[in-house]
Chain A
């Protein structure tokens, strides 16, 4: 008998536990859980689509050009739309200098904000806050939408396998298999509700959020020693997400 055969026999013996407890789930449990998740995801996607439409609607109202300086002020609050475009107030700017109001709005936090987020307007919406599902959503669409804004590589990234363990309802999570240039791996973003104290593993980053919770981001390579996806951008992502969660 070869080494491999002896080991295989040993593992099979270990796995054949006659004292194993009976299964705690049956076929009906599986199908019910599957349908519950599917229904919840559809509902969340519908909600997310409505939110996007609402945001687009507000953005359109804000960006409508007018003839008064007040309008220019409004446009300056949406630099993505206004950048590089001459607004109605620009013609009055002396010597073609960029109008002061077109300058990026400094985000809240000032010097503490990572360089990559300078120019991003401060988030003024309602923070996402704790989840409301019966069990925490390990692939939370609303959280993922924010993650995709700060890490565009996440758009279209496949969901990573996660357990169905019922995590506390207030949590939200996103677990995706990502590729960032030559680096591939797993990105985990987790929102933890207020009062949850955690100790982080090496490489994980956390930040207190606007709703009083904590956002934890952890990016790890597919293989030990390989390049880490989003290396150097995780802090930026945490700073971006903190006021939104």
Chain B
């Protein structure tokens, strides 16, 4: 990376680090792993900086790299995350009476959603991508995004029950 490229990267890192960490956190549910994933994505970005011609698409590139890394990690051949439709140990989920509880309830619930479905939910509802954008980020069809969204939300609702009213369909 030349000097100008280094300056651009430094600025991009300064502006985007926290957002990338937050996305990684919701994708994996753990701040330490989120830092690992976010750092890995930035390292990959730095290594590919010269080859990424469309710098307007940097966010999309980072999103794609981050999501794939998290999903890839969860699918390591000898340590797969276990998906469950029930809260661990059958314990009740805390009520969402305030913002802190809301955060914990949702993050705990997301841990029970399979990684790829979780990625779809995070891209759509945190990153604000539409179906086409989510499909592009994940390298899958729009139909897959729709079905994964439905399955992911269904799992989340099943896990959380009535803890989060906002997860109930309106009407």
Contact = CB atoms under 8 A, between A and B. Distances in A.
Interface of A: 2-4, 6-17, 19-21, 23-25, 27, 29-31, 33-34, 37-38, 160-165, 175, 186, 188, 190, 198-201, 204, 216, 218, 220, 222-223
18 contacts: A8-B125, A9-B166, A11-B26, A14-B26, A15-B23, A20-B25, A21-B31, A23-B38, A30-B13, A30-B39, A30-B46, A38-B47, A160-B68, A165-B73, A188-B76, A201-B78, A201-B80, A218-B77
B55 interface: no
B102 A13 contact: yes
A220 B77 CA distance: 10
A162 B69 contact: yes
Contacts of B119: none
* Top 7 A-B residue pairs of the complex, sorted by shortest distance between their CB atoms: A164-B40, A218-B77, A198-B78, A161-B68, A204-B77, A34-B46, A14-B106
A4 B27 CA distance: 18
A27 B10 contact: yes
B170 A3 contact: yes
Interface residues of B, number: 61
Contacts of B31: 20-21
B26 A163 contact: no
Given A2-B170, A16-B22, A216-B77, A7 B43 contact: no
Contacts of A216: 77-78
B106 A10 contact: yes
A10 B125 contact: yes
B52 interface: no
Contacts of B65: 161
A37 B43 CA distance: 9
Contacts of B41: 161
A218 B72 CA distance: 12
